[in-house]
Structure 1
C-alpha cells in the first residue's frame, strides 16, 4: 500500500469523524451555517486565476480600466458565493417512511422529502453513488426518489445523503452531507437455482406431508363448483347467474353465488431441502423461490433452524418470509 493511499485513508477517517460531530444523525435535517460547506469549483479556481492575471497585467502596465475590470470580476465572484450559499440555506430534508426495504445489489429508491418556503435552483442529491436526481426550480415540498445500492442482506443503515448545488455561474460547489438516521431492510439477492427443476421441486415439497407442519385442507373461493347462496343482483353481472325462478315469481332479482373447492396443500421451503451450498447462497435461492410462489399465488410455509412460519399466502406473508431470511443469523 502506497504512502499516498495511506494518507488518503487517514484523512478520510478524520474527516468522517469531524463530519459526525458537525452534522449529527437526525431523521430531519434543516440546513444552516453549521452544516453547509462551500468551496470554489474547478471553474471557480480558473476564474480566480484569470482575475489575478488581469490584475497583475493592469498594475504592471498601469492600466486603470483593466484593474477596474478585475475588481468587477471579483465582486461577481463574491456575489456568486453568497447566492450559492443562500440557495441551500434553510432547506429541510427528511425521510417520511418507516418501512424501507429492497434487495441486495439492486437499486432501492429512498423517498426523500425536500421542504422549502422559497424558490430553489438546481439541486443534485445522491447516496455516495453515480445515481443523481436533479430537481429544477421548486418552491414547495418536493418528493425525490433517490436510488441507493446496499451490498449486504439484513438491517442496513443508509449512507450519508449528499446534497449539492453549483448554482451561481458554477463558480462554487455548495454542499452538505447529512445522516438521516434511517435503516433499510435488505433482502438477499434472488438467484434462480440452476441445478433445481423448479416445477419438480415445488411438486415434491407439496407432497412431502409432515405430521408436525402439514395437513391437507380444502378451502373455498368464489367459483363454479357448488351452489352457496343467493346475493342481490348487481348491474353488469352475467345474466347466466340470475335466479330466473325468483324473478318469475316476482321475488326480485338475485344472482347465484357458487363456491369452488381448492386443494390448498402448501409448499414448504427450508434450507435442508436445497442442494448443499454456503448458507448465503441457499438464502438467495430461498428468496427466489418465495418470489416465485408469490407470483403463482401459492400457499407456502418457511422452515428455518431458528423459526418456522406457518403456511399462508398473500403480500404480507411474502414480506414476512423475506424478512425472516434477511435477518437469519444476525
Structure 2
C-alpha cells in the first residue's frame, strides 16, 4: 500500500514539476502547510476562543481574532519569501565507491524580486544534506556532499528544499528533479597487468626491455659503463667489478577482459579491471575492454578512460543507490 501511494505521488510530481535544469519557484511547484508549531499555535487560538466564549470576554475574543489574522499573514509571508528563489544545479562528476559525490547548487534571488530572508533545508529523500543560512550561503554556489556506497549509474531522486521563515508557523517546500545522473566507479584494487594481445600481434602484450625501472641482473663490467651502475658491494667483498642492469615494462596494444578473472567474485574482478584502466590511461597506452558480450574498442585518452570506467560501473548493476522515485 505504501509503495503504491509513493508511485502515485511520483507520477503526480512528474506531471506537476517536470524535470529540468533550472527552476524559478512559483505557485505550481511550491507547497505550503502548517508546521507542528503552527498546529500548536492554532490549538492555542482555539483554547483562547473557547475561554472567551465561555466567559463572554471580548478582549480574549479580540486576541483570538488578532492571532488568527497574524497566522494567515504568516502564510502569505512564508510563500512570498520562498518564491523569490531561482535554483539550478551543475553536472555531478563521477566518483569511486565510498567517496562523496559533489552536488553544486546555485541559489539566486530572481531579478525584480524582494530579497530572500531566513534559511533553507536541503534533503535527498531521507538524507539531510545541508542547512543553509541566508547571509553565508545564498546568492552563490553551494557545495553539498552525497555519499556513494555502491557502484553503478544512478538517476538522482528529487531534492527537497524547504523554508520555515519567519516564525516557523508554516513550512514551505518543493521537490525538484534536476535530471542528473551519478556514476559511481568500482574501487580500484592494485593488481598485475593482464593485457591480452590484439589479433594480428605476436607475443605477449607485456614485455621487458632495457630501461631504468626494475633491477634485472649483474653482468661483467665493461669500460664506459656508468659508475652509478657498478655493484660496489660485490666489489668490496673481493669480487670482480660488475654492472647492474635494469629493465622497464613495455606494453603493446591489447585487451582487458573479465575472462582473465574466472575465480574472482564479480565486484573484485571489476575493481581489478578499474585499477588497470587507470594505470594504462595514466601511461597513455592503448587498450580495449571486454565484459562478456560488451566490448569497447582499443583507444587511449581521458574520454576512453571514462567510457571504460562507466562500463565497469554499470555492468550487471542490480541495486539502486536510492529508492526509486
Q: Given the two structures, how large is their TM-score scaled by the length of structure 1?
A: 0.68
Q: Aligned residue for 2:83? A: 89
- Aligned with 2:271 (options 275, 278, 284): 284
1:30 to 10, 20, 24: 24
Residues 214, 126 of structure 1: alpha-carbon distance in 2 compared, 3 angstrom cutoff: same
Kindly report the root-mean-square deviation, in angstroms, between the aligned alpha carbons of the 2 structures: 3.6
Unmatched 5+ residue regions in structure 2?
A: 213-246, 318-325
Using the alignment, how far apart are the partners of 2:61 and 2:43 within structure 1?
14
State the shift of 1:290 in Å.
Answer: 4.5
Q: Cα offset for 1:277?
A: 3.7
Return the structure number with greater strand share: 2
Q: Does 1:110 align with 2:107?
A: no
Aligned to 2:295: 307
| Residues 259-302 of structure 1 deviation map (CA, whole Å, 9 limit, x = unaligned) | xx9654379743223252443442234335555x3899696845
* CA spacing shift, 1:135–1:220, aligned 2, 3 Å: farther
Tell me the residue number matched to 1:136.
133
Change beyond 3 A, Cα 1:44–1:298: same
Alignment correspondent of 2:164: 166
Gaps of 5+ in 1: 1-5, 193-197, 222-260
Q: Which moved more, 1:67-76 or 1:25-34?
A: 67-76
Secondary structure of the structure 2 residue equivalent to 1:62 = coil
Contact kept, 8 Å, 1:219 with 1:264, in 2: the verdict is no
User: What is the Cα deviation at residue 137 of structure 1?
Assistant: 1.4
The one-character-per-residue Cα deviations of 1:127-154 (angstroms, maximum 9, x if unpaired) are 2132321221149632122333466644
3-state SS of the aligned residue for 1:167?
Answer: coil
> For 1:38-89, what per-residue CA distance to the aligned partner results, in whole angstroms no more than 9, with x for missing partners?
1011111111101111111111111122222222221221222112111210
| 1:162–1:175 contact (8 Å) kept in structure 2 | yes
The residue aligned with 2:93 is 100
Tell whether the 8 Å contact from 2:118 to 2:166 is kept in structure 1 after alignment.
no
How many equivalent pairs are there? 272
Q: CA deviation at 1:26?
A: 1.0
Distance 1:21 1:265 in 2: 54
Name the residue aligned to 1:214.
205
1:224-243 matches, within 5 Å, as: none
Q: Distance in 1 between matches of 2:211 and 2:304?
A: 19
**1:253 maps to which residue?**
none
